[in-house]
Chains A and B, each alone.
Chain A
Amino acid sequence: MLKRTTALAVILLLSACGKTTTGPAAPEGAPAGEPDAAAAGRTAGYNPDRNAYFGDLHIHTRDSFDAYIFNVRATVDDAYRFAQGQTIRHPSGFDMTIAGGPLDFYTVTDHSEYLGILPAMNTPGTKLSELPRAKDMFSTDPDKILAAFQGVGASVREGVPIEEMYDLNTINTVWAAHVAAAEKYNQPGKFTTFSAYEYTSVTSDTGDGGFGGGNLHRNVFFKGTAPTQVFSTLDSTNPEDLWDWMDKQRANGLESIAIPHNSNVSDGQMFRLETYNGEPLDAAYAEQRMRNEPLVEVTQVKGTSETHPDLSPNDEWANFEIYDELLGSYNVSATHGSYVREAYRNGLKLQETEGFDPFHFGLSAASDSHVAGGAYSEADYWSKVGIVDGTPVARGSVPFPGTTSWDDQPDNQITRNAKNWFSRWSASGLTGVWAEENTREAIFDAFKRKETFATTRPRMRVRFFGGFGYADGIMDAADLAHRAYEGGVPMGGDLVGTGDAPSFIVWAQRDPNGGTLQRVQIVKVTSDGEDVIDVACDNGTPDPSTRRCTDNGASVDMASCTPVNSGASELKTLWKDPDFDPSRRVTYYVRVLENPSCRWSTWEAMRNGTPPRPDVPQTIQERAYTSPIWYIPGN
């Protein structure tokens, strides 16, 4: 509070001198990359042409009802300590250290429903621990444990509180502790945190009486001050009611956004073309949704939601880390309405026919780790649900104990869960943002303007701009980023037509501590179709007829998981759409592909001396997706 007052005073003083320092625009004539260190109120890394920052926006600790049952005991403090490079303990007993070094931002998003209630139920002496349900939940009888847990899951899904367990005093006290922890670890210029939680709406009951179903979860992030009580499914399971609540908070000065995730297992509900209650969509719905949900989490441990091979049959890279089983069940999620690219197309359709677009969102990524720390490494993976998938056997990357071949696997609960769920999960992902500095304000503003990109784990960086006046030589200009901002809009922006064809600056840089790049693609979406176009290649230029790079020969030595050929460190191009029609709306986003590398399951098999699991890919191409640039025809 003191700090904010001081910053405000500084701004007031500066405006009194007639020198405002607000606004994202670069100072007139600032030379490329010259740090504007003199400006007051800015942190050391300030860059008017913006830096790339990486973070995970989706982390659970023991205060989530499910995590506690997964034997997670790590606290909010442990989570933030992990993100800053300290080592914490996995519930299965091994140490976890963050791959790739500390992150720039990190957010704990525990389930708000029964937040912190299970730890209290497991603490002798509390009233909650005296409940029969507590005795069952922490008994030694697996059937009782399961029944008690399913009961809680059902309550979260149905939105009907278990009265004796729904202790708002405890929940609010634990929430206050989370807010305080976010304040404690937030260090402007170095490390950013937000007060945040997960709203856990589930639809499509799978009939097991528990938590299972279609995922409508979203994480809610507060820019600054957080309310003392949050909105959960025990208030309403309808996400539109969450938006109403957020609007109300906003009116009271508490700004927030929500980021939905795992649309891939939403059973077609996340981007459904009706409201939650089955009413037709309208402009007010679209406006409210976009005001509250500017971003969608496109990749995480439970799979990638960009697109599905059935939806994008002509995209050779669409079959990537597809995971489609509803929460806690083996039921397969509906495909339509569950993937981002199709939502972009439907958004344009709605825009053209009805005049509004409820899917005008940017992209983010996260791990959804339930053990306080994300596994951002294929070579050092621990998945996400604690003791439930804490070992290679549980994850199905190595044959069941007592067997050495994949042909003679026993059929039991462990192997079934591994096959249907855990073997198909991913070592993903991270959000990249372009922001002037590493502060709450700058990063939150980047979320709002969707200047974000999602990666499946690596810290590769992607710039993407669209404009009408970019000069031919711009890609060689020393101050390229500066000119790109001056002459156009960055990812997340609307590019309003002038009648001319726009050009796009597409620029990708490898993770300096990771793999190299193979190709950069533009994904072009219109109301009636889509196209994937290679625009920059590791070797040569794309073939204009096939719009594909030639094979760069990259592969992996499967005996050691080392890459055979190296790819590019940096790929960039100034691209024009050869089929551009100035009168049609288009959504363009960039996809960057690394050279192939071993999938986590292959690493684990290699270390175990057994063959890799045959029904999952042995190698993958890590990737990044940018938020789109929306071309909108001028009048």
Chain B
Amino acid sequence: MTDKTETASRLRSLLGEPLVHFVLAALAVFVAWNMVSQSRASASRTIRVSHADLERLASLYAAESGALPSKEDMLAMVNDYVRDEALAREARQLGLDQNDTIVTRRLAQKMTFMISDLADDPDPDEQTLRDWYTAHADRFTEPQAITFTHVYFSEDVRGSKAESDASAALTRLNAGADWQHVGDPFMLQRTYGDLPVREIARLFGPDFAKALAAAPASDAWFGPVRSALGLHLVRVSANMPSRVIPFDEARDAVLADWKDETRRNENEAAVQKIVGRYKVEIEGADAK
């Protein structure tokens, strides 16, 4: 079961990246090998995007989308075009277009390599992990969370009296009245434990969340505080500031994050490395 799960999860990780990235990563390896083994002929290193190409891209877009491309769409398409063209040329130089067997074998080798690569993926050293943790502290931070009890005064029920009713109740609560029998029924909970401020905003609206975030823990009730739903008297019994999780506690999450992003970056870097070898000329555009 465990083996199966692990295999499935490995496959999932693989498939989580577009398959095309395998090809790209494979290409990057082959390109490096190629560069060492032979001095490259100075084949065409210019990708020319002609008017005709631009028109073709635009009409393809219009046919597929039923709309004319905007400037942004065109830019994105040209970028994709250049990227594909650069990779395709590299592939042709490697002879990948000439013999399907080569493609198949290389892919199979690469696939095997990547699976074993994942299995034996050496963890980064301690310092790399710690640097990663420091550089991305926001990802390993628990948000500010508040434990509070509130009593609700509905303006839909009480109208303009809601505020004075709430103020009168405040005195009673601070004199020891039982909060469970004060105020109007509230559809959700009257007590929340360790609720992140973002959640408070989702449940009560942003102003209420802001007011509670600024309230120190105390036995005293305060308010009325306005939310998107009406008025509330509030007792904040704990206000935990956001906390950076200590490295040792966060280690697993740091490692997972490092791996995820490293893999994503490596794929992208492989592509960019290849694309970067080409000079791009777009007809009608200023040279850059």
Also in contact, A393 and B9, with CB within 8 A (given A32-B180, A75-B18, A126-B19): no
Also in contact, A510 and B180, with CB within 8 A (given A387-B64, A568-B156, A569-B154): no
Q: Does B37 contact A (CB under 8 A)?
A: no
**Bound form: Cα–Cα A401–B183 in Å:** 57
Report yes or no: A461 in contact with B188, Cβ–Cβ below 8 A: yes
Report yes or no: B18 in contact with A119, Cβ–Cβ below 8 A: yes
Q: Across the interface, which residues of B come within 8 angstroms of A568, CB to CB?
A: 156
- Partner of A32 from the list B5, B64, B190, B205 (CB cut-off 8 Å) is B190
**Bound form: Cα–Cα A417–B65 in Å:** 10
Q: Does B189 contact A (CB under 8 A)?
A: yes
Q: Does A294 contact B (CB under 8 A)?
A: no
Query: Which B residue's beta carbon lies closest to that of A571?
Result: B156
Report yes or no: B228 in contact with A510, Cβ–Cβ below 8 A: yes
- Partner of A47 from the list B56, B60, B155, B189 (CB cut-off 8 Å) is B189
Report yes or no: A123 in contact with B20, Cβ–Cβ below 8 A: yes
Report yes or no: A414 in contact with B154, Cβ–Cβ below 8 A: no
A367 to chain B, nearest CB (A): 18
- Partner of B16 from the list A44, A177, A479, A481 (CB cut-off 8 Å) is A177
Stretch at the interface among A33-41, A357-365, A368-376, A439-447: A33-41
Q: Given A73-B18, A177-B12, A390-B65, 18 other A-B contacts at CB below 8 A? A: A35-B189, A51-B188, A120-B19, A123-B23, A125-B23, A180-B11, A180-B12, A184-B9, A184-B12, A390-B67, A391-B70, A459-B202, A461-B187, A509-B187, A512-B203, A512-B204, A569-B154, A570-B229
Q: Across the interface, which residues of B come within 8 angstroms of A481, CB to CB?
A: 185, 187
Interchain residue pairs A-B with the least CB separation, the first 10: A33-B190, A480-B185, A142-B63, A512-B228, A180-B12, A394-B67, A512-B205, A177-B12, A123-B19, A387-B65
- Partner of A34 from the list B75, B182, B191 (CB cut-off 8 Å) is B191
**Bound form: Cα–Cα A533–B58 in Å:** 53
Report yes or no: A76 in contact with B16, Cβ–Cβ below 8 A: yes
Q: Does A475 contact B (CB under 8 A)?
A: yes
A502 to chain B, nearest CB (A): 20
Query: Which B residue's beta carbon lies closest to that of A514?
Result: B228
Q: Across the interface, which residues of A come within 8 angstroms of B107, CB to CB?
A: 125
Q: Does A280 contact B (CB under 8 A)?
A: no
Report yes or no: A570 in contact with B187, Cβ–Cβ below 8 A: yes
**Bound form: Cα–Cα A100–B206 in Å:** 11
Pairs A–B under 8 Å by Cβ, sample size 27: A31-B180, A34-B191, A35-B193, A52-B188, A75-B16, A123-B19, A124-B23, A124-B103, A125-B23, A173-B11, A177-B15, A177-B16, A388-B65, A393-B67, A459-B202, A461-B188, A476-B184, A479-B185, A509-B187, A512-B227, A513-B201, A513-B202, A569-B155, A569-B156, A569-B229, A570-B154, A570-B187
Majority DSSP secondary structure for residues of B touching A: helix
Q: Across the interface, which residues of B come within 8 angstroms of A73, CB to CB?
A: 18
Q: Across the interface, which residues of B come within 8 angstroms of A401, CB to CB?
A: 68
Report yes or no: B190 in contact with A414, Cβ–Cβ below 8 A: no
Also in contact, A477 and B68, with CB within 8 A (given A119-B18, A125-B107): no
Contact-size category for A: 35 or more
A448 to chain B, nearest CB (A): 23
Also in contact, A463 and B187, with CB within 8 A (given A140-B56, A173-B15, A393-B67): yes
**Bound form: Cα–Cα A475–B66 in Å:** 54
Q: Across the interface, which residues of B come within 8 angstroms of A496, CB to CB?
A: none
Query: Which A residue's beta carbon lies closest to that of B10?
Result: A180
Q: Across the interface, which residues of B come within 8 angstroms of A463, CB to CB?
A: 187
Q: Does A620 contact B (CB under 8 A)?
A: no
Q: Across the interface, which residues of B come within 8 angstroms of A49, CB to CB?
A: 189
Interface string of B155-199 (1 = CB under 8 A from A): 111000000000000000000000011111111111111100010
Query: Which B residue's beta carbon lies closest to that of A538?
Result: B156
Report yes or no: B189 in contact with A1, Cβ–Cβ below 8 A: no
Q: Across the interface, which residues of B come within 8 angstroms of A417, CB to CB?
A: 66
Q: Across the interface, which residues of A come within 8 angstroms of B229, CB to CB?
A: 509-510, 512, 569-570
Q: Across the interface, which residues of B come within 8 angstroms of A393, CB to CB?
A: 67-68
**Bound form: Cα–Cα A77–B17 in Å:** 9
Q: Across the interface, which residues of A come within 8 angstroms of B253, CB to CB?
A: none
Q: Across the interface, which residues of B come within 8 angstroms of A145, CB to CB?
A: 63-64
Report yes or no: A181 in contact with B12, Cβ–Cβ below 8 A: yes
Interface residues of B in 211-233 (CB under 8 A from A): 227-230
- Partner of A37 from the list B66, B156, B193 (CB cut-off 8 Å) is B193
**Bound form: Cα–Cα A619–B181 in Å:** 42
Q: Across the interface, which residues of A come within 8 angstroms of B65, CB to CB?
A: 92, 387-388, 390-391, 394
**Bound form: Cα–Cα A180–B1 in Å:** 14
Q: Does A21 contact B (CB under 8 A)?
A: no
**Bound form: Cα–Cα A37–B68 in Å:** 57
**Bound form: Cα–Cα A572–B240 in Å:** 35
Q: Across the interface, which residues of A come within 8 angstroms of B206, CB to CB?
A: 513
Q: Across the interface, which residues of B come within 8 angstroms of A140, CB to CB?
A: 56, 60
**Bound form: Cα–Cα A77–B194 in Å:** 28
Q: Does A14 contact B (CB under 8 A)?
A: no
- Partner of A93 from the list B73, B154, B187, B194 (CB cut-off 8 Å) is B73
Q: Does B61 contact A (CB under 8 A)?
A: yes
**Bound form: Cα–Cα A418–B66 in Å:** 9
Q: Across the interface, which residues of A come within 8 angstroms of B154, CB to CB?
A: 569-570
**Bound form: Cα–Cα A570–B231 in Å:** 12
Query: Which A residue's beta carbon lies closest to that of B184?
Result: A476
Report yes or no: A177 in contact with B11, Cβ–Cβ below 8 A: yes
Interface string of A39-56 (1 = CB under 8 A from B): 000001001010110000
Report yes or no: B64 in contact with A513, Cβ–Cβ below 8 A: no
Interface string of A454-470 (1 = CB under 8 A from B): 00000101010000000
Interface residues of A in 56-113 (CB under 8 A from B): 71, 73, 75-77, 92-94, 100-102
